[in-house]
Structure 1
């Protein structure tokens, strides 16, 4: 019974360690996620700055997986070169060693103070950054508390004969240690937590130094498995370049370290008498050596990866999402960025539909009308995929800015999908009616109609740019476009009634169709404004609740 309770306590302490690591990661992501992504994106210009950014971002997030997902988001679609992306991953692996080094010292006494400060900050207004930093302090306190409990549990059983026999058998097989730690790291999604656990075992003498070093190698290998398995999916092999490249560097490093372990291990234990500190130093030494080894070789290494995994040249299904990576849902800032990139594809498809409608009105091609209408199915599928992806995010992991961005993405996707419905169900059928009845618009009306569609296409590009840049002046300019389309509709309505009063029935029929087309175009423009301009104007407090003038009754 006592042994069963010990196993439960041991599992609880490990779970507490993992949960503390999770709280630190989510707290940092919610407090600084957008800034970290911006820093990482701006640093991806050369390998040196990318390497340093990988160290800094991972040291804060305590997760090389989260850094890798951010980098994969930039690398997907060729937005960043493979060489700096690989440099980020080398830096990310070094960054994981910083928190391990800090916790390798005897800082368990800080646990109550960290939790106290964290709770005080966490109980403040949830919209403040202090609330998110409270999660970070609580997580750090829980990690220290878990490590202290692990040490206490191991102290009672370090001399148990059966445990000693089992660990002695494991210690004689370094490859088995590597596999066990790699599997545990893959399951826990945290190499930091596993290395800290190994430090606790080594500190109490439960495992020999060589076994502890082999377990550290396994933890470094396991952290590269998650992005490879759960990373970018799809038929394009190029999407696997970065996770596979990082995994192969880990495998190479582990093989070389295992071969050098009989020489390096004794030297390190003689230099550092504290077993826990020796484990932390070995973890740092391994990652620094691996970075020094591969950093000068990144250019030919990237060329080799491109040769092994060439980019797929076959056209993909346009309705298949390209950027909605399921693994990115664990990192909200990455998931929101992926959804935003997918939403921009809606703008591209809607632009193709508008161009098809313009050509159909100008040339009267029935086949072109049918092809353009089929693109609405692409909009429907992408919009559904984006909504399903975003609604699957855990709302508790999202900060106030994350919730606002999520709503903006949903509004953008929904309005563009509805604009596509108007093209499909109204604009194109009217173009088909014009062709079927053999109607011809007067030259000036035809030119005005084509000009408005071109203006609509320009507004669509402005809306897409505004969705990314969030420039307030651009939002005002896009919102003001509603006036031009409203004036065009009013002028066409006046001309239509004049023709009716003049008794020109054929001209009235043409002008009625022209008026229907203008109303469709105006409605599409309204959706573009609502997709990008209104959310920003509302956020800045410059969107009026109504256009009706409110005058004092007195």
Structure 2
């Protein structure tokens, strides 16, 4: 019992060390790795190479799958390119298994010592996060050594021999065991290393170990599918397509287990090398041999899982991928994408507002006011998603981006409320009473509206790109908009003085619309402030009294 407990503890330590390395690398290099993946999508071969590199660093093809699937979900890359990345990711995991199968136990105390010193002394910095990665590497090496020590006495137990003999050489049972272990541990790398260590100490025979390796690869694919089961269809297409390749590989490689033992094993120095090299051979075959099938598999998966039309359910968030929360930089990107979706709905409301006051379309006004509920729903979804991102895992730039997204979504929600109020006023004070704006008055509010829509699009661009020049231009538009408001308020008063009937009847509505459009514009222009402050570009505006305004006046 004691030896079994020692083995379970060693397995748990191996899984935990793998988790520390995966999370640590993603937190330190997550944004750079995502950028590397995004730049390598020119063809399937460079995509596969990037998958190898990223997975070798992260030590988890599942993590690479999450990042790649999120790109597909956001419409940034096509499904065939994502499947090509996964072909490389599987090779990357297998290469790391080969590396860790060598005797690196002497590095374990060094990694743990240096990692703990860095983590405790500089916990909130990049050095501290690198220290966390080193701790994970050290624990993985220590765990592999402990697995070997724990399995030696277990092999002497007669119970072990009875269990192994009862299983016989049922390849399906071996594949099932390997798959279950990979799902439970959330790491095919940890399971393959465990199988290699157990095979090296003869706890499991080699043929059984190779069958379990095939199962571990299937379990890795199933883990990604289960993790993303509630994600968008585009995201699930990647995991299902990856699983198709893994199944084809198992079907192809399972009959050759005996051949591997007969012809390859005699030329290898140790049983553990045979296990990890079989794992590498499996992944090279399904990656290199099947990479030409990515287009065909993508076509089949698209037929089986057709993407939904976002317009049919605008209330549902399109980009808030729950699986991305494990990678803060990726989750922030998803939230920013959803914030732009929210802004698109606001733009639709704003464009419809002009149509309503020009055509007196009461039905359209009701539809647009109902759309504000969708804007509010997206705001709540984004806010809840953002609260689940670990702030302690964000660097300075990511922390600033987190704040910008929250501020942007709040502003969009407030703009939606203002547009809804203007629509209600137009219905109550104009449509229901059968009143009309004067020709000059209608031209004025139309011109202000056109400026406002242009500023909304500029604000969305500033939010997306953080371009200081565009931010400066947005603040200049705030000054221009204020001048328009003052000029049109004066001309409206002149029309009242001339006893223009239409202007008198709609005077209150006209003034309210001008005022509300100005408030909306102020909310849009507030997007520029954090960008200019981050780029130290706010100083030129302070001399004009713009940036020196109280925070309340900015909005």
State the Cα distance separating 1:345 from its structure 2 match: 0.9
Structure 1 residues 69 and 444, CA gap change in structure 2 (3 angstroms) = same
1:348-383 deviations in Å (ceiling 9; x for gaps) = 111110111011122221111111111101111111
Structure 1 residues 289 and 317, CA gap change in structure 2 (3 angstroms) = same
State the Cα distance separating 1:402 from its structure 2 match: 3.3
State the Cα distance separating 1:396 from its structure 2 match: 4.4
Structure 1 residues 113 and 171, CA gap change in structure 2 (3 angstroms) = farther
Q: Tell me the equivalent position of 2:203.
A: 206
Q: 2-side partners of 1:170 and 1:61: how far apart? A: 35
State the Cα distance separating 1:495 from its structure 2 match: 4.3
1:381-412 deviations in Å (ceiling 9; x for gaps) = 11111112221234444444333332222222
Choose which of 384, 399, 406 in structure 2 pairs with 1:388.
384
Does 2:330 correspond to 1:334?
yes
Choose which of 523, 536, 549 in structure 1 pairs with 2:519.
523
Q: Tell me the equivalent position of 1:378.
A: 374
Q: Tell me the equivalent position of 1:274.
A: 270
Does 2:531 correspond to 1:536?
yes
Does structure 2 conserve the Cα–Cα contact (< 8 Å) formed by 1:357 and 1:428?
no
Structure 1 residues 107 and 547, CA gap change in structure 2 (3 angstroms) = same
Choose which of 285, 289, 299 in structure 2 pairs with 1:289.
285
The 10-residue stretch of structure 1 (493-502 or 81-90) with the greater mean CA deviation from structure 2: 493-502
Structure 1 residues 126 and 477, CA gap change in structure 2 (3 angstroms) = farther
Q: Tell me the equivalent position of 2:225.
A: 228
Q: Tell me the equivalent position of 2:296.
A: 300
SS at match of 2:290: helix
Q: Tell me the equivalent position of 1:365.
A: 361
Q: What does 1:435-446 align with in structure 2 at a 5 Å threshold?
A: 435-446=431-442
1:158-189 deviations in Å (ceiling 9; x for gaps) = 21111232234346222212111111211221
Does structure 1 conserve the Cα–Cα contact (< 8 Å) formed by 2:18 and 2:136?
yes
Does structure 1 conserve the Cα–Cα contact (< 8 Å) formed by 2:346 and 2:412?
yes
Q: 2-side partners of 1:542 and 1:66: how far apart? A: 38
Does structure 2 conserve the Cα–Cα contact (< 8 Å) formed by 1:43 and 1:50?
yes
Does structure 2 conserve the Cα–Cα contact (< 8 Å) formed by 1:151 and 1:200?
yes
Q: 2-side partners of 1:64 and 1:133: how far apart? A: 20
Q: 1-side partners of 2:335 and 2:74: how far apart? A: 14
Does 2:134 correspond to 1:175?
no
Does structure 2 conserve the Cα–Cα contact (< 8 Å) formed by 1:177 and 1:218?
yes
Q: Tell me the equivalent position of 1:16.
A: 13
Q: 2-side partners of 1:78 and 1:195: how far apart? A: 34
State the Cα distance separating 1:198 from its structure 2 match: 1.1
Choose which of 412, 415, 425 in structure 1 pairs with 2:411.
415
State the Cα distance separating 1:316 from its structure 2 match: 2.4
Structure 1 residues 256 and 273, CA gap change in structure 2 (3 angstroms) = same
Q: 2-side partners of 1:548 and 1:174: how far apart? A: 71
Does structure 2 conserve the Cα–Cα contact (< 8 Å) formed by 1:127 and 1:400?
no
The 10-residue stretch of structure 1 (238-247 or 415-424) with the greater mean CA deviation from structure 2: 238-247
Q: Tell me the equivalent position of 1:510.
A: 506
Q: 2-side partners of 1:20 and 1:404: how far apart? A: 30
Q: 1-side partners of 2:121 and 2:520: how far apart? A: 44
Q: Tell me the equivalent position of 1:111.
A: 108
Q: Tell me the equivalent position of 1:483.
A: 479
Q: 1-side partners of 2:423 and 2:485: how far apart? A: 15
Q: Tell me the equivalent position of 1:215.
A: 212
1:92-143 deviations in Å (ceiling 9; x for gaps) = 1111112212111111111111122222332344453222211111111111
Choose which of 257, 262, 281 in structure 2 pairs with 1:261.
257
State the Cα distance separating 1:270 from its structure 2 match: 0.9
Does structure 2 conserve the Cα–Cα contact (< 8 Å) formed by 1:441 and 1:510?
yes
Q: 2-side partners of 1:238 and 1:540: how far apart? A: 36
Does structure 1 conserve the Cα–Cα contact (< 8 Å) formed by 2:175 and 2:216?
yes
1:265-318 deviations in Å (ceiling 9; x for gaps) = 232321212122221111111100111221122222322333333344695211
Choose which of 182, 185, 190 in structure 2 pairs with 1:185.
182
RMSD over equivalenced CA pairs, Å: 2.5
Q: What does 1:73-88 align with in structure 2 at a 5 Å threshold?
A: 73-76=70-73, 78-88=75-85
Structure 1 residues 123 and 358, CA gap change in structure 2 (3 angstroms) = same
Does structure 2 conserve the Cα–Cα contact (< 8 Å) formed by 1:198 and 1:216?
yes
The 10-residue stretch of structure 1 (315-324 or 42-51) with the greater mean CA deviation from structure 2: 315-324
- Give the structure-1-normalised TM-score: 0.92
Note the residue ranges of structure 2 that are not aligned, 5 or more in a row: 550-555
Q: Tell me the equivalent position of 2:63.
A: 66
Does structure 2 conserve the Cα–Cα contact (< 8 Å) formed by 1:209 and 1:269?
no
Choose which of 454, 462, 481 in structure 1 pairs with 2:450.
454
SS at match of 2:209: helix
Moved over 6 A (4+): 499-506
Choose which of 99, 104, 107 in structure 2 pairs with 1:102.
99
Does 2:238 correspond to 1:248?
no
State the Cα distance separating 1:428 from its structure 2 match: 4.3
Does 2:469 correspond to 1:473?
yes
Does structure 2 conserve the Cα–Cα contact (< 8 Å) formed by 1:43 and 1:49?
yes
Does structure 2 conserve the Cα–Cα contact (< 8 Å) formed by 1:171 and 1:208?
no
Q: What does 1:1-150 align with in structure 2 at a 5 Å threshold?
A: 3=1, 5-76=2-73, 78-150=75-147
Q: 2-side partners of 1:525 and 1:55: how far apart? A: 47
- Give the structure-2-normalised TM-score: 0.92
The 10-residue stretch of structure 1 (224-233 or 194-203) with the greater mean CA deviation from structure 2: 224-233
Does structure 2 conserve the Cα–Cα contact (< 8 Å) formed by 1:203 and 1:276?
yes
